[in-house]
Structure 1
Amino acid sequence: MQTASRRFDLSVQYACNKEGLPSRPQFRGWARAALEGGGQVTIRLVEAEEGQELNREYRGKDYATNVLSFPYDTEPRVFGDLVICPDVVAREAAEQGKSLEAHYAHLVVHGMLHLQGWDHEEDDSAEAMEQREREILASLGYPDPYA
């Protein structure tokens, strides 16, 4: 039995066509690998229109982005939402020559780190965050997303 501090509750919401998207167990594995301690997280997969609306409302950027992180609390457990736009993820994976699965894994890990307070606004913090992403993804068998 997991202790309360290590317990991880994950909800995956498919607010778009589910065909060809990662499964809940895949999302859970990627998210859990990036989580230190426990938490309660929702991953919501959305159409480009909803992704654009959320990005505009919360970040002032009028386009759909790959992943948005909405942290609500980080201590003693992580509580937050990740919103992923599959259209953007698929386009980026193709443009960058990455497998779709590896790109999803990277974005979930990236988003989970944001939920835990990591950021990439300054060069030093960006370098540290990218290194942590590389370590987590390597432990899951995925290549360096920044190579």
Structure 2
Amino acid sequence: MIAFFYETDFLIPNEELWKKWILSAVEKEGFQTDEINYIFCDDEYLLQINIEYLQHDYYTDVIGFQYSEGNSLSGDIYISIDRIRENAIENNVSFEKELARVIIHGILHFMNYKDKTDEQAVEMRNIEDKYLSFFDEIN
């Protein structure tokens, strides 16, 4: 099950389409979902989570807390809509495309993809691009 929650005035359009896309990516990677919660918030909300739980005092676009065991994914993924808007402008992409990138990025971490090293970051970006192309097809 995938659920969307809102701690800001943003609402994701056509939630069912987005959920279908996320589930498709999870299944293609050989996983299934148990309970995945996406929480959309603003910069200050996510900054407080970053400070309190990760001891990082800086803004970020996404933070995930994974509760998974085995191939059944479970967790909470917090996404700053403020960061998405700024990143979209900086990267010269649409808001929707940047939102999709961050949504898939968060759940890829739950599927054991890392991005700490340059090599891992390249692999992560490649797999993000793969699923973004699928999003374009269904959108």
Amino acid in structure 2 at the alignment position of 1:15: E
Secondary structure of the residue that 1:63 maps to in structure 2? coil
- Aligned match of 1:128 in 123, 128, 133? 123
Aligned pair count reads 133
Conserved in 1, the CA contact under 8 Å of 2:32 and 2:72? yes
Q: How far apart are 1:26 and its partner, in Å?
A: 4.2
Shift of 1:74: 4.2
State the superposition RMSD in angstroms. 1.8
- Residue type of the alignment partner of 2:20: G
- Percentage identity across paired residues of the two chains: 25
Aligned to 2:2: 10
The 1:54/1:27 distance shift into structure 2, 3 A limit, reads: farther
The reply on whether 1:28 has 2:14 as its aligned counterpart is no
TM-score normalised according to structure 2 size: 0.84
**SS across alignment from 1:120:** coil
Is residue 32 of structure 2 the alignment partner of residue 38 of structure 1? yes
> SS of 1:65's equivalent?
coil
- CA deviations over 1:15-60 (Å, ceiling 9, x no partner): 11135x4442243134223313311200001122211001112332
Deviates more, 1:58-67 or 1:9-18: 58-67
> Larger helix proportion, structure 1 or 2?
2
Q: Which runs of 5+ in 2 are unaligned?
A: none
Q: Secondary structure at the match of 1:135?
A: helix
Task: Report the Cα offset of residue 77 of structure 1.
Answer: 0.4
CA contact (8 A) 2:10 2:81 kept: no
Contact 2:68 2:75 (C-alpha < 8 Å) held by counterparts: yes
Q: Is the 8 A contact 1:30 1:109 kept in 2?
A: no
Change (3 A) 1:64 1:136: same
**TM-score, normalised with respect to structure 1:** 0.80
